[in-house]
Amino acid sequence: MALLDVLKMGNPLLRKTAIHVDEIRTNEFQQTIDDLIDTMRFQNGAGIAAPQVGILKRVFTMEMEENPRYPNKTPFPLYVAINPEIEILDDTLINSWEGCLSIPNIRGQLKRYKRVLLKATDRNGNHYEEKLDGFAAIVAQHELDHLNGTLLIYRMESMETLSFQEEYEKYWL
Ligand code: ZN
C-alpha cells in the first residue's frame, strides 16, 4: 500500500487542467490508480482526483462505504473514472455541503446537479456509463472539477456557509 501526499489549496497544481490519459494498462498508471484508492480510503475521502496528488492526468476514484467524515450518506461502490465526462440528466440543482481532502477541516455549501451520467473508462480500458443520483452524483461532479482545476470554494455563490468542520457539525448538521 502506498499513501501519497495530498496537495493543499494554494498549491498551483490544483488549479491546472489535467491531461487526457492515453496509456491505461501500463504498470506505472495501474500503480497510480492503486495509490489513489489507498490514499482516498486512508484519508476517509469520498473521492480523490489525480491532480490532488500532483499527477496531472484525467483520472479520479470515488467510493462510499461506512465513512466517519460522511455519516448518513448513501453508499456507492468503487469507481475508477479515466478520461471521465459528465452529462446532466436532471438539471435540478441541489444544495451540497462538501469538504475536500485538499481543504482540510473545511465545509461549504454549493449547488450541484441532482442526477448525472458518468461516462468514463475503467482501469481495464473498458468504457462504461453509470447513472448517478444524489451524493454519488455530487462526488463525481466534485472530482471532475479537480481535473479542470476547480475547487469547491470557487463554486460557492456565498461564503456565508464556509465553516470549519467542528462548527459545521455543531451549527449546520
Ligand atoms: Zn476535493
Summarised one tens digit per residue, pLDDT across range 101-112 is 999 999 999 999
The model's confidence at residue 98, banded by pLDDT at 50, 70 and 90, is: very high
Query: Is residue 142 in some structural domain?
Result: yes
Among residues of the chain, what percentage have pLDDT more than 90?
Answer: 92
- pLDDT at position 71: 72
Tell me, in angstroms, the distance from the centre of ligand 1 to residue 151's CA. 7
Does residue 53 sit within a domain?
yes
Q: Which residues are catalytic?
A: 143
**Total domains, the chain:** 1
Q: How far is the CA of 137 from the centre of ligand 1 (A)?
A: 14
Contact 116, 162 (CB under 8 A): no
Domain span at residue 93 reads 12-172
pLDDT for 128 equals: 98
Residue 4 within a domain: no
- Is 5 among the domain residues? no
Inside any domain, residue 144: yes
State pLDDT tens for residues 68-92: 766 778 899 999 999 999 999 999 9
Can you give 88-140 as a three-state secondary structure string? Answer: EEEEEEEEEEEEECCEEEEEEEEEEEEEEEEEEECCCCCEEEEEEEHHHHHHH
Asked whether residue 2 is domain-assigned, the answer is no
CA 142 / ligand 1 centre spacing (Å) = 6
Question: How many angstroms does the Cα of residue 143 sit away from the middle of ligand 1?
Answer: 6
CATH number at residue 161: 3.90.45.10
Residue 7 lies in a domain: no
Please state, in angstroms and as integers, the Cα–Cα distance from residue 56 to each residue in 14, 19, 119, 125, 147, following that order: 9, 6, 19, 19, 8
In the numeric block, the cell 498508471 is attached to 29
